[in-house]
Amino acid sequence: MSTLPTPISNNSYQVFPYFVGTDEACESGAIYLLPPSFTYKSPIQFTISSLYSGSGEISGTYDNDDFSFSLSQQGSGEPTQANVQANITLKANNMWKCADSARSALMANFTDFLQNIESSFEIPGILFPGTTNLIGQQIADRMPAPMIESLFYRYAFSPGLSAGTKPYVDIRAGMRLLLETQVSQFLSPTSSMNGYISDGRFPLTIDSVATSNGRVIAFDAFLGNIKSPTITDASTNPVVAGGAIDLQPVSGQRKYWRLFYPQSIGAPSAAGDQTTTNNITLIGTQTLAQLNTATTAYPSCDTSGTPPNICSIFLGRAIAIPEIPIWIIVRGQTALEYVPLGTTIANIIQRFTTIPLSPTPSVVSISRVSSASTSGLSAGITQTVQQGFPVNFSTLFNLPLIAGDSITFNF
């Protein structure tokens, strides 16, 4: 086979099926999502304005093998919010490599980078509260990555399919958390029909509310803005949540929440238990450092930190599914819909027709809100196909959607 095509920027997001990597670890070509603007094999650099609080030294930097951060002043005089900018570099060390070990190192360095930005710049008050998350999302806008890996930079999504990893995802403002619950049915002491049965599905709208220390996650905007009632006996570890009110206890607001899935859940006929090992678990922390420590400790519940971390579980074999909002446009009609995180373009296409065998003529047009757009506030998502190189066209639509994506059907 001829040498596979080299990635070339085209001012849109590209689903690129010929990615070999600078390490040439994917000889047959892997499917990558490429950002709107890049030079293959080179670093990606960008700046963000208005993050500096106007207080503190701007000479500090942070640097690891894959990312670097610094502040710089434009012009003379005192540093102010208006004349100080943040400089971020995505280095060309692991970013353009394809080997699993390189991708794992890149993700670990991303986690390390954001943790240190928060601890060294945001918490000391040099950057405004919340800017660590903003920096992380703007990196996600520009990161070339395998399609499922792209969700890691957006939502810290870990499928848990690789050895030594755990299934989890961050719960972010703008999501919905869909709770699918079960109730225990008891007919008689010897009945084979005793056990858990389906009960209902209840969406919790995830919001954020302002506090003196920045915005924190609220599992309901109303509950997040009133004085929550004291929950009797809510000091158990983990906290047993019966509903939304149990996620908004007095002094219970936290900046970060991560949803963990257990390795096993008891059978419907089993009595169940109150452990984090056998139930879905929500862990809330105030800092990324605490969140990363708690993630390492899971399934144990690490309640260290100031304020203490919170571990919450839902009983009754409950399952929680994070959902994100997307736009679907069909025959001139626009609808906002929440879909489970992990939903792909292919999943939406299949609602209306079969997945195309070829991206041309295009059945759908996709656009994504992005800080990396070279024009305006959004960028298109295209499939890059070149003659002479065989491609399974249906796989080009396996890109997971993110919040705010817009899908237009062209029929």
DSSP string, 334-354: EEEEEEETT-BHHHHHTTTSP
- Would you say residue 1 has pLDDT above 50? no
Same domain, 136 and 206: no
The pTM is what?
0.93
In a domain, 386, yes or no: yes
Same domain, 61 and 130: yes
Q: Kindly report the backbone phi and psi dihedral angles of residue 266, in degrees, each rounded to the nearest multiple of 5, phi listed first.
A: -60, 160
pLDDT digits (tens, 9 = 90+) for 122-148: 999 999 999 999 999 999 999 999 999
- Would you say residue 244 has pLDDT above 70? yes
> How distant, in Å, are the alpha carbons of 7, 114, 145 from that of 100?
20, 22, 11
Same domain, 345 and 307: no
**Confidence band of 64 (pLDDT split at 50, 70, 90):** very high
Same domain, 309 and 328: no
DSSP codes joined into one string, 186-243: ---TT-TT-EEEEEEEEEEE-EEEEETTEEEEESSHHHHHS-PPPPTTTT-SSEEESS
**345 lies in which domain range?**
324-409
Same domain, 310 and 211: yes
What tokens appear for 345 in the block? 């373009």
Same domain, 192 and 308: yes
In a domain, 154, yes or no: no
Q: Which residue has the higher pLDDT, 291 or 307?
A: 291
Number of domains in the chain: 3
Nearest to 113 by CA among 68, 71, 48: 68
**Confidence band of 2 (pLDDT split at 50, 70, 90):** low
Nearest to 338 by CA among 180, 150, 151, 174: 174
Same domain, 261 and 131: no
Q: Domain end: 288, 304, 321, which one? A: 321
- Percent of the chain at pLDDT above 90? 70
Mean pLDDT of 289-302: 96
Count the Cβ atoms, other than its own, within 10 Å of residue 239. 21
> How distant, in Å, are the alpha carbons of 11, 145, 254, 323 from that of 174?
27, 24, 16, 9
In a domain, 179, yes or no: yes
